[in-house]
Homo-oligomer: A and B are copies of this chain.
Amino acid sequence: MKSAAKAMQAEDTAETGAQQIRDAIREAIVERRLSPGTKLSESDVGNLFKVSRTLARAALQALSYEGLVSVEKNRGAFVAYPSPEEARQIFAARRLVEPGILREAAARITPADVKQLKQLLLEEGRLMSERGQTARRAEIKASGDFHLMLAEISGNAIMQRFMEELVARSSLVIALYGQSTASSCGHSEHGDIISAIESKELDRACQLMLHHIAHIETDLDLRERKSLGLKEAFEL
């Protein structure tokens, strides 16, 4: 699926160098190997990937357009640290677009798509029962892939790209404000949505999707964390 998405948008427009670095860093952010606020200096990134600062910079700029890193003038790039307000807007956007995407997807879905969705679900379940960091990370990715796949099925490349941005940023928000150590997404809810689509209960599928998103938000603690600056941190 990932490869399909890539193949669709690009042929030789592939900006080989920077693109690869961008993807690598994005993956690291989405899988939470990089924490919000981490500094990403151009030189460091360049050295790490064995390229010049030019390419490193281009990659960071690209990520800044996606909202995954914030670059501050003359200060450098950092893994984005979404504010509570930003977090709310990200999920508001998802509530706004995902039902619509779902409807589009349901209208065009093929048996092969359903099969692939269920495959994804299975894989997600398998990872959930596994222990270990790698499994956890793969699970995070898989749970986002469910939403992304619906966008892909919808057949609208623009909405697909937008969803990719939203899912990636959601991962950051959950990393920052998520409370339950449990997984990012209620796994069973994904299955329910597929069932509703299969039985053509479109309105119900949308309801389930909205509940699902609300459910994720419920697990967030969106109170302003004022950096708690060293003094307060120790005067208990």
Chain A interface (Cβ < 8 Å from any Cβ of B): 12-16, 54, 58, 61-62, 65, 67, 70-74, 86, 89-90, 92-93, 96-97, 100-101, 104, 156-159, 162, 166
Contacts and interface: CB of A to CB of B under 8 A. Distances in A.
A90 B97 CA distance: 14
Contacts of A65: 62, 65
Contacts of A156: 89, 92-93, 96
The 5 closest A-B pairs by CB, nearest first: A96-B100, A12-B73, A65-B65, A89-B156, A93-B158
Given A89-B156, A96-B97, 13 more contacts: A13-B70, A14-B73, A16-B73, A58-B58, A61-B62, A62-B65, A86-B158, A89-B159, A90-B158, A92-B156, A92-B159, A96-B100, A96-B156
Chief secondary structure at chain A's binding surface: helix
Contact of A159 (B72, B86, B96): B96
Contacts of A97: 96-97, 100
A150 B54 CA distance: 38
Contacts of A73: 12-16
Contacts of A157: 86, 89
27 contacts: A12-B73, A13-B72, A13-B73, A14-B73, A15-B71, A15-B73, A16-B73, A58-B58, A61-B61, A61-B62, A62-B65, A65-B65, A67-B158, A86-B157, A86-B158, A89-B156, A89-B157, A89-B158, A89-B159, A90-B158, A92-B104, A92-B159, A93-B156, A96-B97, A96-B104, A96-B159, A97-B97
